[in-house]
Homo-oligomer: A and B are copies of this chain.
Amino acid sequence: MTQTDTMPIPDQVLEAAARIAAHAHITPILQARSIDTETGTALHFKAEHLQRVGAFKFRGACNAVFALSDAEAAGGVVTHSSGNHGAALALAAQLRGIPCHVVVPDGAVPAKLASIQRYGATLHHCAPTIAAREAGCAQVQADTGATAIHPYTHPQVIAGQGTAALELLSARPELDALVVPLGGGGLAAGTALAIQALQRDCALYLAEPVGAADGARSFAGGVLDHEFVPDTVCDGLRGSLGAINFELLRTTDARVLTVDDAATLSAQRMLLACMKQLVEPSSAIALAAVLGNQALFAGRRVGVVLTGGNVDFTALADLLRE
């Protein structure tokens, strides 16, 4: 997508919180005695799967849409995510009363497309390649004057995603660590900014699938690694870490914890059995990172962002039978 990615600053998270306040839910913070006992930690789950459209993605999309000038907004917005960001952008555009275009690759899940259309967005089909998706977006931009809102490198998206941690840290000032999933890095970078905005001495851990560990390799090597083929059940974390996100995160003490899919699915089951909460694997990975690193988290007060709950029921049925 054609856009200029300027580095967001901590104050933009505070501005985002004010900007989205009329539209986004202040999601509850859940706790589970049984999981605390098992892990030896005090876990505070920020329930973003109860956010509008069922994912934290609404925060960033909403902030980006409402940060547009009236002139920009008149042309509408465009993106090429067929997942939660697409639905989130569609709803945000609907709330502002502007057009939304979503470029979707052939073969995308029909249920997700229906969700995007329910919020009034126009779908544009393309071949299932990155090049075709980028070209589709460029074409929509040329035809309509729409502004591209990238799912995780747009600075206002990053700032908006940071509002989840801002709410969590404001409600639970005693937290000494946060754990969030790492995919493209929008939530991770936004969370780092939120910690800075509040000037908290709070460690940040990023849970990343072993099968899409470009983030871990990038931080270890000091160079962005985006030559990899993702192989993970965490469909929300298959994208490669964004350049701006990498630059922002490498200046912090954020640490990547890699998690294999079996541990993630086990955590997803635990959230359903012990907390009655349905979350995506891309979300359960954060709890799995805690469960897999008990010595690291023992005795600490840890915030965990449950990022989304849009789960395909057939896949869930398979999980429950295991």
Chain B residues with CB under 8 Å of A279's CB are: 276
The residue from B49, B50, B273, B321 contacting A317, defined by CB atoms under 8 A apart: B321
How many whole Å from A309's CB to the nearest CB in chain B?
4
A269 vs B314: C-alpha distance in the bound complex, in angstroms? 12
Chain B residues with CB under 8 Å of A277's CB are: 276-278
Q: How many copies does the complex hold?
A: 2
A273 vs B279: C-alpha distance in the bound complex, in angstroms? 10
Cβ A30 vs Cβ B52 within 8 A: no
A275 vs B317: C-alpha distance in the bound complex, in angstroms? 18
Cβ A276 vs Cβ B278 within 8 A: yes
Cβ B309 vs Cβ A276 within 8 A: yes
Cβ B276 vs Cβ A50 within 8 A: yes
How many whole Å from A24's CB to the nearest CB in chain B?
12
Considering only residues 253-297 of chain A, those with a C-beta below 8 Å from chain B are 269, 272-273, 275-279
A318 vs B317: C-alpha distance in the bound complex, in angstroms? 7
User: Quick one: given A276-B49, A276-B278, are A313 and B309 in contact (CB under 8 Å)?
Assistant: no
- Whether, in the assembled complex, A151 has its beta carbon less than 8 Å from a beta carbon of chain B, the answer is no
Q: What would be 29 A-B contacts, judged by CB atoms less than 8 Å apart?
A: A28-B28, A30-B50, A33-B52, A49-B276, A50-B275, A50-B276, A54-B276, A269-B313, A272-B278, A272-B313, A273-B313, A276-B277, A276-B278, A276-B279, A276-B309, A277-B277, A277-B278, A278-B278, A313-B320, A313-B321, A314-B320, A314-B321, A316-B317, A316-B320, A317-B317, A317-B318, A317-B320, A317-B321, A320-B320
